[in-house]
Amino acid sequence: MTGAHVLTTNPAGPASATDGVADPRLDTTHGPILYLEDITVSFDGFRALNQLTLYINDGELRCIIGPNGAGKTTMMDVITGKTRPDRGTAFFGQIIDLLELDEPAIAQAGIGRKFQKPSVFEELSVFENLELAMRTDKRTWPTLFAKLNGQQRDDIEDVLHTIGLPEQRRQRAGSLSHGQKQWLEIGMLLMQRPKLLLVDEPVAGMTHQETERTAELLLSLAGKHSVVVVEHDMEFVRSIARKVTVLHEGSVLTEGSMDEVQQDQRVIEVYLGA
Amino acid sequence: MGISVLLARDAGGRVFLALLVLVGVFLPALHLLLPETSPLHISAYTLTLIGKYLCYGLLALAVDLVWGFGGILSLGHGAFFALGGYAMGMHMMRQIGDRGVYGNPLLPDFMVFLNWTELPWYWLGFDRFWFAALMVLLVPGSLAFVFGWLAFRSRVTGVYLSIITQALTYALMLAFFRNEMGFGGNNGLTDFKDLLGFSLQADGTRVFLFVTTALCLALAYVACRFVVSSKLGRVVVAVRDAESRTRFIGYRVEWFKLWIFVFSAVLSGIAGALYVPQVGIINPGEFSPLNSLELVIWVAVGGRATLYGAVLGAILVNYSKTVFTAILPEVWLFALGALFVLVTLFLPHGLIGLMSQRRGERA
Ligand SMILES: Nc1ncnc2c1ncn2[C@@H]1O[C@H](COP(=O)(O)OP(=O)(O)OP(=O)(O)O)[C@@H](O)[C@H]1O
Ligand SMILES: [Mg+2]
């Protein structure tokens, strides 16, 4: 991976391959793109999320921190349709009720997710991983006869360069290093052209240099996309964070800038001081 | 994607198809052209036996598609094969006409024997070949569709799915054993006379059935290769390896599983339909859960997710079965079990895996 390939996406430039494509029903005129209200999720009586209320603004880059088990991943599970909450509401924009949709429908509405544990399709090549993630008709028959057109090839090429893996395009994804898999997964996220990106621990297992590039990439995406990043690496959070939300025991403990949050006495007690 | 492009990337497939053409042309030639006294002469019996192996090969191809590529371990594919076989059997039953023992122009012998006076509604239409041929595709296909829709939509996977596929074929076996079902009970359908006006005993008919089977196998191979080389094929592999991940990038996983499952069931039905006129009988034993388990062993022996490996496995295991059951019939099941254990432990990629490994070492 060479640094020169990275960050060919210009956030201010003309429409690029990775710009989000909005579901026509996505209405963000009131500001937020994501509304989570009063969400409760229990596993055998244990409340992983406890009346969580959280709003993400359109175009915002939000960092979410919190100790292990705070419910960060569970929150993403609720947004992406993997886990149904016991109560509460989740809206994408003002009209799309996420709790009425299943995983593929939510993905197609414009929410993409990178998992905490890197999950790429190991038996497929890097190129094929990106090809499958690409925003296009994903029904069976069109998929059977799908052929890449020039534009789509270019889009995949662009993303290959953005994630710094152009030389590995034919390589089996399973043979990539841990950091490269993380990047490939981010690339798959970009291929979906989502409006809202949920990124769970993107820099776990990355070298210092890779971490820096990830920070640059996420920053470049904000604005045209809304990005929610969960991360334990405080240095990384500090380098990208505008607004930080601290989760603790399934609800929001506090929100604010990194400095405000780090000086908050409750945060120091539950998390940073630990 | 043209066939040439498809095969350009499939060296194993080219060898396989070339061998199939050789078998499809030369064996009938050796049978028809050489005198019976010649050591190279192939008897009608041998030709039909190999034709039977090719039907099994087609069935194995179908199983490899769902199991090898889709990760759906179906232990009930024998049911689709048997249903295709029954559909063809029903047609040939009705072709017997008044040449049966009881001479009834409309009712097959077993119905007369049961004192039935009317042909059940589900036997209507089977006197026409085109209708029977359509049913060969539609009956296994619809069963797979309904079954798969229920199972995949409620996200039944892994060992639970395997168990209910076994239950499916077992239930069908019990149903077909019953005389009242109207499929000939435990005797099944047999005593066929002709197909499309040609006597099943005639040399020419046997050669024709053999060549048709080889041709169908070749076409099915190309179709399967097209499917697994398509984007749909890659989605199916993605589902096999990381099902929920595939959902999160926007694919309706259950429809992809259903697609491949139904396609595979239709291929199995065709295999059954080609099988029955060559062996001359179809009975409920074909639904036996054991049969479906054997299919999986064929595929494992040949090598999963290679397509031609499955066909190779089917032919080799069935050839061994023919040999074994002639010499030591009671040992066969143990040998089969041992083979499965050995392959699972030492040859995870089957014989094809072994061969390509050898080639890799030499290169
Ligand atoms: N499927 C489940 N069944 C039972 N408990 C669960 C399940 N998923 C999560 N939990 C529990 O819910 C709590 C919140 O888990 P979650 O994974 O959301 O935490 P997290 O904030 O992402 O933690 P980490 O920083 O370690 O990733 C944990 O105590 C976890 O054990
Ligand atoms: Mg987590």
**Ligand 1 atom 12: the closest Cα is on which residue?**
A48
- The stretches of A88-201 forming alpha helices (DSSP H) are 103-109, 126-133, 140-144, 150-162, 178-191
Q: Can you tell me the distance from the alpha carbon of A167 to that of A5, in angstroms, rounded to the nearest whole number?
A: 11
How many separate domains does chain B show? 1
Classified as helix, coil or strand, A35 is: strand
Ligand nearest to the CA of A251: 1
Successive 10-residue mean pLDDT values, chain A, 274 residues: 41 54 76 94 94 95 93 96 96 94 95 91 96 96 96 96 94 93 93 95 88 90 91 90 92 92 87 54
Interface of A with B (CB under 8 A): 80, 82, 102-104, 107-108, 112-113, 115, 119-124, 128, 131-133, 135, 138-140, 143-147, 188, 192
Q: What is the CA radius of gyration of chain B?
A: 21
Mean pLDDT computed over every residue of chain B:
94
Which of A108, A116, A117, A123 is the best residue to mutate to test the B interface, defined by the most B CB atoms within 10 Å of its own CB? A123
Q: How far is the CA of A232 from the centre of ligand 2 (A)?
A: 10
Q: How far is the CA of A115 from the centre of ligand 2 (A)?
A: 9
Which of B69, B235, B248 is the best residue to mutate to test the A interface, defined by the most A CB atoms within 10 Å of its own CB? B248
Which range marks the domain in which residue B178 is found? Answer: 3-362
Count the neighbouring beta carbons within 10 Å of the beta carbon of residue A81.
Answer: 23
Would you state the pLDDT for residue A8?
Answer: 42
Contacts of A102 in chain B (CB under 8 A): 247
Alpha-carbon dihedral sign for residues A222, A194, B244, A35: positive
Helix axes B129-153, B77-96, angle to 10 degrees: 160
B61 DSSP assignment: H
What secondary structure does DSSP assign to A38-101, as a single string? Answer: EEEEEETTEEEEEEEEEEEETT-EEEEE--TTSSHHHHHHHHTTSS--SEEEEEETTTEEGGGS
Closest by CA to A124, choosing from B96, B181, B186, B233, is B233
The residue length of chain A stands at: 274
Q: Can you tell me the distance from the alpha carbon of A118 to that of A163, in angstroms, rounded to the nearest whole number?
A: 15
- Give residues whose Cβ lies within 5 Å of ion ligand 2: A 72-73, 116
- Of the candidates A123, A138, A145, the beta carbon closest to that of B237 is on A123
Closest by CA to B167, choosing from B152, B145, B147, B190, is B147
Contacts of B242 in chain A (CB under 8 A): 119-122
Taking only the tens place, the pLDDT of each residue in B48-106 is 999 999 999 999 999 999 999 999 999 999 999 999 999 999 999 999 999 999 999 99
- Of the candidates B227, B234, B250, the beta carbon closest to that of A108 is on B250
How, if at all, do strands A243-248 and A251-256 pair? antiparallel
C-beta of residue B200 within 8 angstroms of C-beta of residue B210: no
**Ligand 1 atom 10: the closest Cα is on which residue?**
A48
Contacts of A188 in chain B (CB under 8 A): 249
The nearest CA of chain A is from the CA of B230 a distance in Å of 6
Closest by CA to A184, choosing from A176, A195, A192, A194, is A176
| pLDDT exceeds cutoff 60 at B1 | no
Closest by CA to A209, choosing from A247, A168, A187, A177, is A177
Would you state the pLDDT for residue A96?
Answer: 95
Helix axes B158-177, B289-302, angle to 10 degrees: 130
Domains of chain A, first to last? 32-120+195-272 (3.40.50.300)
Instruction: Name the percent of chain B lying above pLDDT 90.
Output: 85
C-beta of residue A207 within 8 angstroms of C-beta of residue A179: yes
| pLDDT exceeds cutoff 80 at B359 | no
**Ligand 1 atom 29: the closest Cα is on which residue?**
A69
Q: How far is the CA of A114 from the centre of ligand 2 (A)?
A: 11
Ligand nearest to the CA of A65: 1
How, if at all, do strands A111-114 and B189-190 pair? unpaired
> pTM, whole model, 2 decimals?
0.93
Contacts of B248 in chain A (CB under 8 A): 80, 82, 103-104, 107, 112-113, 115
Q: Which amino acid is at A221?
A: L
Q: How high is the ipTM of this complex?
A: 0.91
The nearest CA of chain A is from the CA of B342 a distance in Å of 25
B352 DSSP assignment: H
**In terms of CA atoms, which chain A residue is nearest residue B69?**
A123
The nearest CA of chain B is from the CA of A142 a distance in Å of 9
- Of the candidates A102, A108, A124, the beta carbon closest to that of B234 is on A124
Q: How far is the CA of A69 from the centre of ligand 1 (A)?
A: 5
Taking only the tens place, the pLDDT of each residue in B30-40 is 999 989 888 88
- Of the candidates B230, B242, B249, the beta carbon closest to that of A133 is on B249
Q: Can you tell me the distance from the alpha carbon of A210 to that of A220, in angstroms, rounded to the nearest whole number?
A: 15
